[in-house]
Amino acid sequence: MEPPPLFIIGCPRSGVSLLEEILGAHPELAWVSQYQNKFPKVLGISTLNCAYGIPTIGKWLYLAAIGIKVFNKRILPYPTEPWDFLITHLPDFKKGVEFWKHRSWPKKNLDIGTLDQVHTIYAQLNLAQRKKQFFCSFADFPRMDYLSQFFPSARFIHLVRDGRAVCESLWRVNNIGHYNSWAEHKIWADFFPELWREQFLRRHYNLFALGIYRWMFYLDICWKESKRFSPERYMQISYEDILAKPHDTLRRIQTFAGLGISSHIDWYIQKSPPLQCNRKWRKALTKEQLDEFFDIVQEERFLALLREDM
């Protein structure tokens, strides 16, 4: 029996891409590249990933795939959040607010043909890359219940990060046009618990505050879902621990995922140490924004994620 897939989940801007890139160096893991994601039905594209299994030079190729860009684009295959691939092959899989608006999972009677089709795609992807275990990541709603319908033994790593860093990053990328969160703010407000919705609409009606409520909302959903999962299937890891203790933290992750402890991971971390991006919020956020953050974030479960040491 093939090992169950591994999913990396977390709120947007929590550092999911960092962990995705490190785990992509593991020789036992299959993943969806930017090319496979662009052509989700052409599974043969995944054979390109086999180049990273070439003795001696494969790990150097992967390092180059992550680090080298041409006209600000990576050319070699690298692991990406596979939205098009997942939307193509998983029924009712949608991105962002569309998933939450139309959620109807878990389903009690999932069609056997659908299950077989999903498992076949998963097996073909592994086969094309000569791997036994698949992993992917996405920064969005957790979908643990949803994905467990297809993979009852799937494992989930929930990546969390200091909310000040997350919210500064959300605010910054919105301001430079990469996100368009404010266009959906009324939809988000409808999702929030009543108390949060009233606070947002009456006292904190602005883009920065929207990011704060979204951060808490993602965490709240994930923590509620996680109560239905055993420690063998759900693990919470902090972005800050990856920065502070990358080798130890990645060994914990590999053990949890049922992977062998790979020297490729240690080598990759040594050659490409995780960048410290948690200092940006200290320079970017104004006193007024920090005051607003702490006016909104008062529950201990959220405050416990704040890291003054980073």
Question: pLDDT tens-digit profile of 266-297?
Answer: 999 999 999 887 888 999 999 999 999 999 99
Cα(171)–Cα(208) distance, integer angstroms: 6
Note the pLDDT of residue 175.
86
Q: Is 309 exposed, middle or buried (0-12, 13-18, 19+ CB in 10 A)?
A: exposed
Amino acid at site 59? K
**Domain at 6-303, CATH from 3.30.450, 1.20.1070, 2.20.28, 3.40.50:** 3.40.50
Looking at the predicted structure, is the pLDDT value of residue 259 above 80?
A: yes
pLDDT at 46 over 90: yes
Q: How do the residues of the chain divide into helix, strand and coil, expressed in percent and rounded to 5? A: 55, 10, 35
Q: Quick one: DSSP state of residue 155? A: E
Long-range contacts for 118-127 (Cβ within 8 Å, ≥24 apart)?
118/89, 118/90, 118/150, 119/150, 121/43, 121/89, 122/5, 122/151, 123/2, 124/43, 125/30, 125/32, 125/36, 125/43, 125/46, 126/2, 126/30
**What is the enclosing helix (H) or strand (E) of 118?**
helix 112-129
DSSP 132-148: SEEEEEEES---HHHHH
| pLDDT band (50, 70, 90) for residue 104 | low
DSSP-assigned beta bridge partners for residue 158: 9, 236
Stated pTM of the model: 0.93
User: Which sign does the torsion angle of CA 29, 100, 11, 38 carry?
Assistant: positive
Helix 207-226 and helix 163-175, axial crossing angle in degrees, nearest 10: 130
Cα–Cα–Cα angle for 225, 229, 232, rounded to 5 degrees: 140
Count of alpha carbons within 13 angstroms of residue 149, beta-carbon side? 20
Residue 11 has a pLDDT of 96
DSSP sequence for 214-264: HHHHHHHHHHHHHTTS-TTTEEEEEHHHHHHSHHHHHHHHHHHTT----HH
| Residues in contact with 232: Cβ distance below 8 Å, sequence separation at least 6, in sequence order | 155
Check if the beta carbon of residue 204 is closer than 8 Å to that of residue 296: yes
- Identify the pLDDT of residue 106: 61
pLDDT > 90? residue 255: yes
Provide the residue ranges of all domains of the chain, joining segments of one domain with +.
6-303
Sign of the torsion formed by the C-alpha atoms of 161, 273, 268 and 69: positive
Task: Look at strands 29-30 and 133-139 and give their pairing.
Answer: parallel
Using a pLDDT cut of 70, give the percent of the chain over it: 97
Q: Which residue has the tokens 């999903």?
A: 118
